[in-house]
Amino acid sequence: MSHVPIIAVSGPFVGTGQESEYPLAVDPGSASNMLVNLNGVIQMLGAYGLVRNEIGAFIRINAPVDCDIEVRSLIPAA
């Protein structure tokens, strides 16, 4: 039996120059389970947040205009 976590990729999204929310493919449970990449640069934990609503899970981040955003969510194996 393997206990290898699953990595779900969301994006790419494009920055708007203001704080925006982008949908995630899965709910990672915590911002600590997210690896956020802006134009190839990994972001520190405090640079983004995980938000939820009745639709699903989203990343909230302020990314520069036309900046590429990719989120990798680590989902623990069952």
How many other C-beta atoms lie within 10 A of the C-beta of residue 73?
24
Q: In this structure, what token pair is assigned to residue 39?
A: 């134009």
Give the SS3 label for residue 46.
helix
List the pLDDT tens digit at each of the 78 positions of the chain.
Answer: 567 778 889 999 999 999 999 999 999 999 999 999 999 999 999 999 999 999 999 999 999 999 999 999 988 766
Q: In this structure, what token pair is assigned to residue 13?
A: 């999204």
Spell out where 1-78 has E strands: 6-14, 19-23, 34-38, 41-42, 48-52, 57-62, 68-75
What gap in Å lies between CA 32 and CA 36, rounded to an integer? Answer: 10
The pTM assigned to this predicted structure is 0.84
